[in-house]
A and B are shown apart, each in its own frame.
Chain A
């Protein structure tokens, strides 16, 4: 029963991810006085792409063809670890948050390899930029995560969320810092506006798009879907770690329904915030990204310090 629920949760993750992207697009269009595409446009795009014949360059090796599948399955595995509507599911118990970061790194590794494999200038450029950014973003994210895990004394996401739930509303200074660090890292890692612009293919600025420039057809669909999943994963992580109230603790139908409603609401609000920040801020120059990320790291470090200094039990 529990395993079936875990499976359903993962499937929910996969099916809801394009909806979140569509919702963000709607919010952005509304804020920028444009006419929004339908909420379900990402699904239509994916559907269209899966029905097109993928074109693969004759220079490409097997790595290029296999990478989309690896990336997508790594993201699905990552999604199975993160509690979406209920805690204490068996998949969440099987892997902790460090494994989750590992899944992200794994997917990124193959994405960068695929970008390099095809031998175009853009692919290599995008791969090198992506690795630069992620090498700075990952420590910041780990600092924020360690702050959480030190508070909860467990690296298991389910247990950590349960810990936060058990203690009710406590004002923890370390969580404020960790939340901001996570927000900054999430924006950098999912390639949203101050760091990368997912909507354009402008040569000099693109990072993520540069790596997947050569993909088409179902390969492109899988990669797009994986990046939508990644966006949703970060959203769920932020929503459920820092504001876990409403997530189902028992596995009854009503509790699960409540959990689903709550997480949809939280994600919708987060998406509105993201759309606001994307509308308000301009894209940074590439060489300022390291300042941005070192600020995220500093926030994570301050979160850790203030956990030790201000909160830890003695």
Chain B
């Protein structure tokens, strides 16, 4: 199969898959929280357009609803909430110095290769577009985990978690041509609740260790050292 033989929608979905992968990388290397949240919103926008494209090309109109939910939640509400919290806690000027940025980036690139390698055995009985998009979404999931591992700010962890969810959502869209509406609504609700809960956690972490840097949690000891 060559990309020239695919129809325009498949090409567009593949391009969006690639761009979603790129946004994951951008998040991985980002030290500023506001920019991190902005890139996260961008990823949500790409996800939303992928959903809308899939809805249009598969004639599966309830996917439009889930695209709308994605737009409202992941492009506007969650980034807005995170931004508000960042501004409220006055950490928007902090630049997080990433340890070993180059190593993290190269690790990310190898995760992409790994996810493709893992999915390669399923090659024979799947359409290739689906396989490619699945590989990309698996790599988005893994990159989200790497983001959570490599960053120290709690807000970055939340963004990483949400981008894992983005990857899973993208996988669901391309592989199942849309889940049942109930499931999608449930997931959207879960994400919303998670976002709000994280907001409360931020407050608690901040009030107990006076910072959102999770490395500081190591200092919490029963015994005085």
Binding site for B on A (CB under 8 A): 167, 170-174, 176-177, 291, 294-295, 298-299, 301-302, 305-306, 309-311, 313-314
A302 contacts B14, C-beta separation under 8 Å: no
Given A310-B132, A313-B2: A305 in contact with B15 (beta carbons within 8 A)? no
Please give the distance in Å from B180's CB to the nearest CB on chain A: 28
CB-defined contacts of A301 to chain B, threshold 8 Å:
109
CB-defined contacts of A313 to chain B, threshold 8 Å:
1-2
A302 contacts B25, C-beta separation under 8 Å: yes
Given A310-B14, A310-B17: A305 in contact with B113 (beta carbons within 8 A)? yes
A172 to B22, CA, bound (A): 14
Q: Which of B3-11, B76-84, B164-172 contacts A (4 or more CB under 8 A)?
A: B3-11
Please give the distance in Å from B106's CB to the nearest CB on chain A: 9
A309 contacts B1, C-beta separation under 8 Å: no
Given A177-B18, A302-B21: A172 in contact with B112 (beta carbons within 8 A)? no
A219 to B135, CA, bound (A): 55
B12 within 8 A of A: yes
B14 contacts A173, C-beta separation under 8 Å: yes
CB-defined contacts of B8 to chain A, threshold 8 Å:
171
Please give the distance in Å from A57's CB to the nearest CB on chain B: 41
A170 to B29, CA, bound (A): 30
Q: Out of B14, B105, B135, B136, which one reaches A171, CB within 8 Å?
A: B14
A171 contacts B11, C-beta separation under 8 Å: yes
- Please give me the residue from chain B that is nearest to A170 by CB atom: B4
B3 contacts A170, C-beta separation under 8 Å: yes
Chain A to chain B contacts (Cβ below 8 Å), 19 pairs: A167-B4, A171-B8, A171-B12, A172-B3, A173-B14, A173-B17, A173-B18, A174-B18, A298-B105, A301-B109, A302-B25, A305-B109, A305-B112, A305-B113, A309-B132, A310-B17, A310-B136, A311-B3, A314-B1
On chain B, the number of residues with a Cβ less than 8 Å from chain A's Cβ atoms is 28
- 8 closest A-B pairs by beta carbon, nearest first, are A173-B18, A171-B11, A311-B3, A306-B18, A310-B132, A173-B15, A313-B2, A171-B15
B191 within 8 A of A: no
- Please give me the residue from chain B that is nearest to A163 by CB atom: B4
CB-defined contacts of A298 to chain B, threshold 8 Å:
25, 105, 109
- Please give me the residue from chain B that is nearest to A168 by CB atom: B4
Given A171-B11, A171-B15, A173-B15: A310 in contact with B109 (beta carbons within 8 A)? no
B116 within 8 A of A: yes
Please indicate which of the listed interface residues A167, A170, A173, A302 has the most CB atoms of chain B within 10 Å of its own CB. Answer: A173
CB-defined contacts of B3 to chain A, threshold 8 Å:
170, 172, 310-311
Please give the distance in Å from A144's CB to the nearest CB on chain B: 14
A176 contacts B2, C-beta separation under 8 Å: no
Q: Out of B15, B25, B135, B136, which one reaches A176, CB within 8 Å?
A: B15
A299 to B26, CA, bound (A): 10
B123 within 8 A of A: yes
B19 within 8 A of A: yes
CB-defined contacts of B217 to chain A, threshold 8 Å:
none
CB-defined contacts of A177 to chain B, threshold 8 Å:
18, 22
A299 to B19, CA, bound (A): 11
A309 to B15, CA, bound (A): 12
A306 to B139, CA, bound (A): 12
CB-defined contacts of B4 to chain A, threshold 8 Å:
167, 170
Please give the distance in Å from A60's CB to the nearest CB on chain B: 40
A306 contacts B21, C-beta separation under 8 Å: yes
A314 to B116, CA, bound (A): 14
A124 to B135, CA, bound (A): 48
Please give the distance in Å from A140's CB to the nearest CB on chain B: 13
Q: Out of A174, A295, A309, which one reaches B29, CB within 8 Å?
A: A295
A309 contacts B136, C-beta separation under 8 Å: yes
A148 to B44, CA, bound (A): 29
